[in-house]
């Protein structure tokens, strides 16, 4: 039996994961990341996952931030739960420049996302979560290796920046299996690949 591959990312209405100012331009996304809907959505993404796959940039940002949340008694319990899961779970970080990262349970690999995920699918148990790493999600979409998409869609048009769904992806069909709308107009949606 092969493992399910899931991917999580927040997108603007025009399908962008950051604004025209580059990867640090997250103004159209950040204000929605701590809403009730977003926090519930975040708990949903790791519920059955036993492996996290991350690009190097996402790993450095996430692991640095979430390691402080895991021990913060004042943090939202959902945030602490996610933080503890992220720190404790197996992490595979794709990088062409780093050989190691300072977090326990982290394996750094210099290989294509498709090759790594294909290998992970037939080893171990539990879901494989590609978490907010467009450099990994895009090639996996192109290789038709993602089984479930967790999307947080923000009610803003960024007007520039990188898009997740680019021309040239294979034609695929997805079924909406869960959706929630937040008070700010954000939508948490789960789509399962129809095969």
Give me the pLDDT at residue 91, please. 93
Map out the domains of the chain with their CATH numbers: 5-25+34-194 (3.40.430.10)
Rounded to an integer, the average pLDDT of 9-36 is: 94
Looking at 33-129, list the stretches that DSSP marks H as alpha helix, in order from N- to C-terminal side. 36-46, 56-69, 77-88, 113-121
Range 136-159 average pLDDT: 97
> DSSP code of 104?
T
| Axis-axis angle for helices 36-46, 77-88 (nearest 10) | 30
Measured CA to CA in angstroms, residue 146 lies from 20, 65, 107, 133, 160 at distances of 27, 26, 21, 13, 26
CB 2 within 8 A of CB 122: yes
74 Cβ neighbours under 8 A, 6+ residues apart: none
User: For all residues of the chain together, what is the average pLDDT?
Assistant: 93
Q: How confident is the model at residue 62 (pLDDT cuts 50, 70, 90)?
A: confident
pLDDT of residue 98: 74
pLDDT of residue 96 exceeding 90, the answer is no
pLDDT at position 59 is 82
Task: Answer whether residue 100 shows pLDDT above 80.
Answer: no
Q: What's the pTM value of the predicted model, to 2 decimals?
A: 0.93
């Amino acid at each position: 039996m092969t493992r399910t591959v899931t991917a999580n990312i927040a997108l603007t209405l025009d399908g962008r994961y950051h604004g025209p100012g580059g990867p640090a331009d997250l103004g159209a996304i950040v204000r929605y990341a701590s809403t009730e809907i977003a926090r519930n959505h975040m708990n949903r993404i790791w519920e059955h996952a036993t492996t996290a796959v991350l690009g190097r940039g996402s790993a450095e940002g996430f692991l640095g931030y979430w390691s402080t949340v895991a021990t913060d008694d004042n943090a939202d319990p959902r945030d602490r739960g996610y933080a503890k899961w992220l720190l404790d779970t197996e992490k595979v970080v794709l990088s062409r420049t780093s050989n190691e990262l300072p977090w326990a349970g982290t394996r750094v690999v210099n290989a294509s996302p498709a090759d790594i995920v294909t290998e992970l699918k037939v080893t171990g148990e539990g879901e494989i979560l590609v978490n907010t790493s467009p450099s990994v999600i895009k090639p996996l979409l192109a290789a038709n290796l993602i089984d479930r998409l967790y999307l947080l869609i923000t009610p803003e048009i960024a007007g520039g920046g990188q898009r997740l769904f680019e021309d040239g992806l294979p034609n695929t069909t997805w079924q909406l299996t869960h959706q929630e709308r937040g008070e700010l107009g954000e939508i948490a949606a789960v789509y399962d690949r129809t095969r």
